[in-house]
Amino acid sequence: MSVSIELSENVSLDAGSSAIIVVDMQNDFCDEKGSLFVIESRKTIEPISKLLEKARKKNVKIFYTQDTHQEDDLEFNIWPKHAIEGSWGWEIIPELKPRAEDIIIRKLRYDAFYGTNLEHYLRIYNIKNLVIVGTVANICVLHTAGSAALRWFNVIVPIDCISAINEFDYNIALRQVNFLYKGILTKSEYIQFS
């Protein structure tokens, strides 16, 4: 299934009012030994890394979400055990290791806004534009993008920086971000911070 999407080729964002949210790039999702390994996530590591490098040069705020569960989490009625707090699988992959100035949001569900202090930080820093990258496209990325849009943040999703379990799920996420939430779809190379 292919989805017709409009790809923006010139996305210029004000560095001071923009942030990147790196969603769940953790060992359990992005390492072949992880309990919920998303094969396509490996392809996104380099473009995400380059985008972060570009953003850091302009002092863009960078947030990481860290899917966080306890041993008896009810979510394990849906998925195999994953991202147990303090475990290897819970850790953010070394290739995208957060820096001291980055903010890590431990999230309990798919949506990075649900039950977290993410919105509090975004409002403190007067963020208006959210570039959302990571995995899984139609689950945590989409729920986070949707929550952001419903709070009137401008959502930008570089399609080379998100991954899904299969192509159908990936395309559904793109369709929903673009059609339902009026998010901008682009590629990481087209995003500039000024």
The structural domains of the chain, with segments of one domain joined by +, span: 7-193
Q: Which residue has the higher pLDDT, 5 or 71?
A: 71
Query: Which burial class, exposed, middle or buried, applies to 164 when counting CB atoms under 10 A from its CB (0-12, 13-18, 19+)?
Result: buried
Residue 151 pLDDT greater than 80, yes or no: yes
Dump pLDDT digits (tens) for 127-142: 999 999 999 999 999 9
Residue 1 pLDDT greater than 80, yes or no: no
Residue 5 pLDDT greater than 90, yes or no: no
Residue 21 pLDDT greater than 90, yes or no: yes
Average pLDDT over residues 154-180: 97
Residue 49 pLDDT greater than 80, yes or no: yes
Note the pLDDT of residue 44: 98
Note the pLDDT of residue 3: 59
Residue 148 pLDDT greater than 90, yes or no: yes
- Cα(100)–Cα(82) distance, rounded to whole angstroms? 25
Which residue, chain included where needed, has tokens 């195999």? 80
| Buried b or exposed e, range 89-120, using 16+ CB within 10 angstroms | bbebbeebebeeebbebbbebbbbbeebebee
Average pLDDT over residues 89-105: 98
Q: Determine how β-strand 184-186 pairs with β-strand 11-13.
A: unpaired
- Cα(4)–Cα(191) distance, rounded to whole angstroms? 21
pLDDT band at 4 (very low <50, low <70, confident <90, very high): confident
pLDDT band at 166 (very low <50, low <70, confident <90, very high): very high
- The CATH code that applies to domain 7-193 is 3.40.50.850
Dump pLDDT digits (tens) for 170-194: 999 999 999 999 999 999 999 999 9
- Cα(185)–Cα(187) distance, rounded to whole angstroms? 7
pLDDT band at 2 (very low <50, low <70, confident <90, very high): low
Mean pLDDT of the chain: 96
pTM, two decimals, is 0.96
Note the pLDDT of residue 6: 84
